[in-house]
């Protein structure tokens, strides 16, 4: 089982998400918070942009975000949730917005 901390590397995050996918579960709030804190590292965030995670890992993040929003509907536009989603998806929203402008 992966070890979660506030200073996870790209590889550790990828491994944790892969493990969650294999066990068919979403992350709990503490695990999500650890990934969120880890993604504050500019190097880790840049690696996510350059080497996006596979769709299975993205599905784990989506399931986790859905779970967070179901428990707290006011978290719909939470910057932390949106930030993690944007980084995990390699900044796809930001790239699309920049292209459209």
Whether 1 maps to a domain, the answer reads no
pLDDT given for residue 17 in this prediction: 95
pLDDT tens-digit profile of 9-58? Answer: 999 999 999 999 999 999 998 999 999 999 999 999 889 888 888 999 99
Going by C-alpha positions, the residue among 8, 9, 21 that lies closest to residue 55 is: 21
Q: Domain containing 66: what range?
A: 10-100
Number of domains in the chain: 1
The b/e string for 55-75 (b: 16+ C-beta within 10 A; e otherwise) is: eebbebbebbbebbeeeeeee
Residue 2 lies in a domain: no
Q: Is residue 83 part of a domain?
A: yes
Please report whether residue 53 resides in a domain: yes
Residue 56 lies in a domain: yes
101: pLDDT confidence band, cut at 50, 70 and 90?
A: low
In-domain check, residue 4: no
Q: How many CB atoms lie within 10 A of CB 87?
A: 25
């Amino acid at each position: 089982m992966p070890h979660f901390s506030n200073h996870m590397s790209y590889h550790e995050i990828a491994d944790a998400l892969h493990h969650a996918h294999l066990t068919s579960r979403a992350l709990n709030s503490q695990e999500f918070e650890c990934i969120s804190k880890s993604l504050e590292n500019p190097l880790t965030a840049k690696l996510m942009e350059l080497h996006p995670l596979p769709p299975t890992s993205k599905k784990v993040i989506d399931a986790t975000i859905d779970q967070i929003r179901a428990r707290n509907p006011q978290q719909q536009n939470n910057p932390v949730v949106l930030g993690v989603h944007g980084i995990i998806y390699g900044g796809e929203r930001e790239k699309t917005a920049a292209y459209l402008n």
